[in-house]
Structure 1
Amino acid sequence: MNENTDGNVARAAKLDTASLSDALDKLGIAGQCYRVKPRDASFRMAGRAWTLLYGPAGNPPGTVGDYIDDVPPGSVIVLDNGGRENATVWGDILTEIARRRGIAGTLIDGICRDTQLCRELGYPIFSKDHWMRTGKDRVQVEATGVPVNIGDARVAPGDLVKGDADGVVVIPREHEDRVLAAAEAIESAENRIREAVRGGMRLDEARKQFRYHQLQTRESE
């Protein structure tokens, strides 16, 4: 990754998902992961997507995955389990190893288990829910390093992923500079509005002065 790419991960880490979501809407880009939430409200993550796709187990069944040692530090592991909520694809052993290896976090279109450990270790996991039932003999790895879907958002390998208390957004690599710039402008305007209101200005006047509504209006094609 070049210096600009690494810098964009750092930029995303400073922004909240609400501003990034508004920026995606402004630019007409779908990147919000529907119904995916952190297993703890304190979890934060930002990094490049490392993707894995699951499918129903065959006969004989394939493995749920022994991939963890191949994931580069700083990555966000992105697991597409098709939104399944009847079997998990992530548990305590993976949490412990991922944290030790410096993985930025895990994002699942589906569920995880062993949530107590991820909270104790402070390892960020974002999923649709959690439940204890194993994915062994129920799902298997179909492919790694391929585009996947997480909560109706397409995630390609290397895309920028940001998660916080409000959920997860995915920023396609080809649009990340525009999205980050728009999100930074939105957050800057919001901060100036807060300062103005604290100083006694009416909210509607502050929003007008700092062109708040224009910042969130979708750009024309």
Structure 2
Amino acid sequence: MTRTDLAEQLLALGVTALSDALDRLGIDGQACGIMPVVRTMRFAGPAFTIRMVPVGLSGGVVGDYIDEVEPGAVVVIDNQGIMNQTVWGDILTLVAHTKGVAGTVIDGVCRDSDRCVELDYPVFARGNTMRTGKDRTTADAYGVPVQIAGIRINAGDWLVGDADGVVAIPFDRIAEVVSVAQDIEAAEDRIRQAVLGGMRLDDARRQAGYHALQTRRE
């Protein structure tokens, strides 16, 4: 399966079904609190990870790494949830969009949000503000494990985002997560069809095993 095919498959399933699959499999992959600038923004792709640190006395820059990000990848920035300085703005959005980057996920905030709306470039963050991160924070390491909203993300893990938030899927568990998410979606579709056909909701749920769909299984 190509990267494009996998991205389309994950987007078709959606974040909620993938989240339920992660729960059943015992994988901690929900980046709670990281939301799209605009609800219609969606992305799926492998992580290009960046760890930010305070600039200290060493200097450094916030965003020159963007030239190294491949088309279809997702920029994942660990800024420790800091809310009073940005690590993503207008120029980074423009370059990422031009390069065909899939999207950006920030444990922190962005700015120049009008630009990502104008270009329909997916940016997911804790919020946005005007205050620059220049001379306050610096990109310390790339391609390293990072923490986003309390979950560990390794370079190459897959992230999916839509109106309900962001999930991260370990690279070596993707096929398993997709299979379980498809099972969950099929069961919930049977419930919807049964209810539309006149069945009581409690009966439809019982028939489909609804209350155990997300329960972790050994």
Q: TM-score, normalised by structure 2?
A: 0.96
- For residues 150-205 of structure 1, the C-alpha deviation after alignment (integer angstroms, 9 at most, x for no partner) is 11111101101000001000001122111111111111111121111111111111
SS at 1:103 equivalent:
coil
- The more displaced of 75-84 and 57-66 is 57-66
What is the alpha-carbon distance in structure 2 between the residues aligned to residue 215 and residue 13 of structure 1? 20
What is the alpha-carbon distance in structure 2 between the residues aligned to residue 73 and residue 26 of structure 1? 32
Q: What aligned pairs does 1:26-41 form with structure 2 within 5 A after superposition?
A: 26-41=24-39
What is the alpha-carbon distance in structure 1 between the residues aligned to residue 151 and residue 178 of structure 2? 18
* Cα displacement (A) at 1:6: 5.4
- Among 190, 211, 219, the alignment partner of 2:188 is 190
SS at 2:213 equivalent:
helix
* Cα displacement (A) at 1:4: 6.3
- 2:91 corresponds to 1:107: no
Matched residue pairs, number?
218
What is the alpha-carbon distance in structure 2 between the residues aligned to residue 105 and residue 139 of structure 1? 21
* Cα displacement (A) at 1:63: 1.1
| Contiguous gaps of at least 5 residues in structure 2 | none
Contact 1:9 1:160 in 2 (8 A): no
Q: What aligned pairs does 1:47-66 form with structure 2 within 5 A after superposition?
A: 47-66=45-64
Contact 2:41 2:123 in 1 (8 A): yes
Contact 1:27 1:219 in 2 (8 A): yes
SS at 1:216 equivalent:
coil
What is the alpha-carbon distance in structure 1 between the residues aligned to residue 41 and residue 3 of structure 2? 23
- Aligned-residue RMSD, C-alpha: 1.3
What is the alpha-carbon distance in structure 1 between the residues aligned to residue 217 and residue 27 of structure 2? 11
What is the alpha-carbon distance in structure 2 between the residues aligned to residue 146 and residue 10 of structure 1? 26
Contact 2:63 2:88 in 1 (8 A): no
- For residues 81-140 of structure 1, the C-alpha deviation after alignment (integer angstroms, 9 at most, x for no partner) is 111111100001111111111111000000000111111211110001100100001001
Contact 1:9 1:48 in 2 (8 A): no
Q: What aligned pairs does 1:126-205 form with structure 2 within 5 A after superposition?
A: 126-205=124-203
* Cα displacement (A) at 1:42: 0.6
What is the alpha-carbon distance in structure 1 between the residues aligned to residue 63 and residue 94 of structure 2? 15
2:122 maps to amino acid: P
Q: What aligned pairs does 1:64-103 form with structure 2 within 5 A after superposition?
A: 64-103=62-101
1:38 maps to amino acid: P
Q: TM-score, normalised by structure 1?
A: 0.94
* Cα displacement (A) at 1:60: 3.9
What is the alpha-carbon distance in structure 2 between the residues aligned to residue 62 and residue 32 of structure 1? 31
What is the alpha-carbon distance in structure 1 between the residues aligned to residue 3 and residue 211 of structure 2? 30
What is the alpha-carbon distance in structure 2 between the residues aligned to residue 4 and residue 75 of structure 1? 13
